[in-house]
Amino acid sequence: MKRYEQIEHTADIGVRVYGASVKELFKNAAFSMFDIIADLEGIRGSVEIDVELKAESPEELLVNWLDELLYNFYTKWIIFFDFDILELDGRRIKARARGRHVGENRNRLKTEIKAVTYHNLKIKEEGGQYSVEIIFDV
Amino acid sequence: MIWQGPLEKIDDWRWRIPKDYKQGMRVDGLLYADEEMIGDIRSDRAAEQVANVAFLPGIVKYSLAMPDVHWGYGMPIGGVAATDVEADGVVSPGSIGYDINCGMRLVNTNLKLEEVKPRLKDLVYGLYNDIPAGVGSKGDIKVSEKEERKLLAEGARWVVEHGYGRGEDLDYTEEHGEIRGADPDAVSQRAYERGKAQSGTLGSGNHFLEVQVVDEIYDEEAAKVFDLEAGRVTMMIHSGSRGLGYQVCDEYSRDMIKCLTKYNIDVPDRQLACAPVNSPEGKAYIGAMKCAANYAWANRQCLMHLARSVFEKVFKASPRDLGMDLIYDVAHNIGKLEKYNIDGREKLLFVHRKGATRAFPPEHPELPARYKKIGQPVIIPGDMGRNSYLLVGTKKAEETFYSTAHGAGRVLSRSAAISRCRGRSIARELESKGIIVMSSTRDTLAEEAPEAYKDVNRVVDVVHSAGISKRVARMRPLGVIKG
């Protein structure tokens, strides 16, 4: 099953992310964001960061999780491509993200994502399959 | 998906979404468009978003949409909403946008097209080399955190005092490039970190620097005041507050989701999260938003300075001798406290403009003395293959809280533009029309291809015909630097 697909949005970039569990949904959402930011083809690296966050709802937690990674990208210049969701309930996440420093590889970068928006954000479940649509401001 | 809601025709340029369309709308929606544009508007969710904005507590008169309106997040791009501060009117960070004080700057020269044409390639390459652009680019200004706090409070003045430009540039910048009430303490450590090293960078996506030539004058009197004539070369800059502004909007949007419960506010989209202007949360956001606005004015001042230096190198004359005066700098993503007469009473309103340009009329006290008679300059860029415009504000624009359009507005999504341009060289197509374009980020040129945008000429037709601003001059691109 595909991890995500791009959806039509006139001004910004939208994705529909899929997962067999909420954990996988969070993992695939992070992957989709960095797949838009950079060319992940054949990327390797072992820089790791640990993330622990809380929120009031699963949707807000999802935005916080993506925001945290985006913040780390823009301040530490790490392209993340692999994500271990260690613990997750509706209001708390503990995870590890792996990536590589941008360094001299600026030509890997494709798109500047300014922010993750809350626009119409809703995690849906149907027959044990999870999905969510996310709009990135670019 | 076609939007099926009601759009009642008021006249050739105005369309109403009545407030009984949706329970919870406090005022009507009012859209500026011609008959044909209404088709485009119905093809995405922008009109629904206009209706959603009408839920904001304290909103007065209408939820407005300019003719370049398109689907955004929360408020549509091209939206304007004013709230009554005394009637618990709210401020909504998502209704200003992530790129706080994204805006336009128009710079004059005394160069004629014939003088620039033979040196155009050198000029565009020079601009491309000397102006940091694209994802991950670093700026020219390296400041300590203490100095950055001063920059946030003092805006463009701070960079002018540090050698980037001259004092009179500030006279031709909205708010003198230094909006009062900026509170550096309301800006988080994370926002400082994202903003660090990005002053003096163009950004990416639709941000640009363009060398252009005036190809039509509509209003001789106003053009004379701006010292513009056909055949004259000008320069336009489109940029904003970079990572600092994005982080400010992000954090305060998140915090204000909690305010919806705290202040018992009902809005149909979380992205419209808001708080009363006079609440502690509202005040903190406004203090931080003003810092980001100042950062953006400092940024565009710095970009103009870098560009002037490139002109100096290429034409071997000082920017002053080249007549490189700032015509105006104006924001198109910002929130402002402004006074209006509503039903016979003067009221203090918080005006949100998201993808909309302020357009003050002649004699407005905030205009520079030279522009008092003609009104505030309004800068409306088009796509990189067609035109851009200089207009002025009008008295009639009181109906839009002195606001007008900000650009062409997209019609194609970025992915649709990329797939349509597959196998084509946009740079070569534009070069055959005499336009040199350079971009530092892959895919930008295809994403930003002219056909991805509405025709700016029609957007300007609507605002001019509706009377909410007045055409002065039209420019066409010669050389474009993209992020």
pLDDT digits (tens, 9 = 90+) for B424-461: 899 999 999 999 999 987 678 999 999 999 899 999 99
Q: Chain centroid to CA B459: how far?
A: 15
Taking the Cβ of residue B441 and every Cβ of chain A, the question of whether any pair is shorter than 8 Å is answered with: yes
Which tens digits make up the pLDDT trace of A57-113? 999 999 999 999 999 999 999 999 999 999 999 899 999 999 999 987 778 888 889
Taking the Cβ of residue B18 and every Cβ of chain A, the question of whether any pair is shorter than 8 Å is answered with: no
Task: Quote the minimal CA–CA distance from B452 to chain A in Å.
Answer: 9
Give the pLDDT of residue B412. 86
Domain range annotation of chain B: 8-482
- Mean per-residue pLDDT, B100-117: 98
Contact A119 B271 (CB under 8 A): yes
- Mapped onto helix, strand or coil, the DSSP state of residue B275 is strand
CA separation (Å) from B281 to B57, B186, B262, B277?
15, 10, 11, 8
Contact B443 A111 (CB under 8 A): yes
Taking the Cβ of residue A112 and every Cβ of chain B, the question of whether any pair is shorter than 8 Å is answered with: yes
- Nearest by CB to residue A119, choosing from B73, B412, B413, is B73
Task: Quote the minimal CA–CA distance from A83 to chain B in Å.
Answer: 23
Chain B, window 84-123: residues with a beta carbon less than 8 angstroms from a chain A beta carbon: 94, 97-99
Contact B257 A60 (CB under 8 A): yes
- Give the span between the Cα atoms of B170 and B326, in whole angstroms: 9
Whether residue B413 is predicted with pLDDT greater than 90 in this model: the reply is: no
- Mean per-residue pLDDT, B238-254: 95
Interface test with B, best of A119, A120, A122, A133 (most B CBs within 10 A): A119
Query: Which residues of chain A have a CB within 8 Å of the CB of B97?
Result: 137
Q: Give the containing element (helix H, strand E) for B110.
A: none
Lowest mean pLDDT among A1-15, B64-78, B286-300: A1-15
Which contacts of A69-73 are long-range, i.e. CB under 8 A and separated by 24 or more positions? A69/A30, A69/A33, A69/A34, A69/A97, A70/A33, A70/A113, A70/A115, A70/A116, A71/B190, A71/B194, A71/B247, A72/A97, A73/A34, A73/A37
Contact A114 B442 (CB under 8 A): no
Residues B210, B480: contact at Cβ < 8 Å? yes
Query: Which residues of chain B have a CB within 8 Å of the CB of A102?
Result: 136
Give the pLDDT of residue B410. 84
Tokens representing A3?
């991890």
Tokens representing A20?
């067999």
Residue-range domains of chain A with CATH: 4-137 (3.55.10.10)
Residues A58, A22: contact at Cβ < 8 Å? yes
Pairing of strands B103-107, B326-331: antiparallel
Which tens digits make up the pLDDT trace of B367-387? 999 999 999 999 999 999 999
Q: Give the containing element (helix H, strand E) for B37.
A: helix B35-42
Contact B269 A118 (CB under 8 A): yes
Give the pLDDT of residue B415. 85
Amino acid at B452: A
Nearest by Cα to B249 from A61, A72, A115: A115
3-state secondary structure B436-451: EEEECCCCHHHHCCHH
Task: Quote the minimal CA–CA distance from B37 to chain A in Å.
Answer: 15
Give the pLDDT of residue A104. 75
- Give the span between the Cα atoms of B418 and B424, in whole angstroms: 10
- Nearest by CB to residue A114, choosing from B44, B71, B99, is B99
Query: Which residues of chain A have a CB within 8 Å of the CB of B420?
Result: none
- Model ipTM value: 0.90
| pLDDT above 90: percentage of residues in chain A | 83
Phi/psi-derived region of residue B217, left when phi > 0, alpha when psi is between -120 and 50, beta in every other case: beta
Q: State whether CATH 3.90.180.10 applies to domain B8-482.
A: no
Q: Give the containing element (helix H, strand E) for A61.
A: helix A58-76
- Give the span between the Cα atoms of A106 and B337, in whole angstroms: 41
Which tens digits make up the pLDDT trace of B161-200? 999 999 999 999 999 999 999 999 999 999 998 888 777 7
Tokens representing B452?
């991805």
Contact A115 B98 (CB under 8 A): yes
Interface test with A, best of B43, B413, B440, B453 (most A CBs within 10 A): B413
Residues A19, A130: contact at Cβ < 8 Å? yes
Which tens digits make up the pLDDT trace of B21-34? 999 999 999 999 99
Catalytic residue (one of B70, B305, B332, B406): B406
pTM: 0.95
Q: What is the DSSP string of A69-93?
A: HHHHHHHH-EEEEEEEEEEEETTEE
Pairing of strands B470-482, B436-439: parallel
Nearest by Cα to A119 from B267, B60, B270: B270
Give the pLDDT of residue B145. 80
Task: Judge whether B464 counts as a catalytic residue.
Answer: no
- Give the span between the Cα atoms of A75 and A69, in whole angstroms: 10
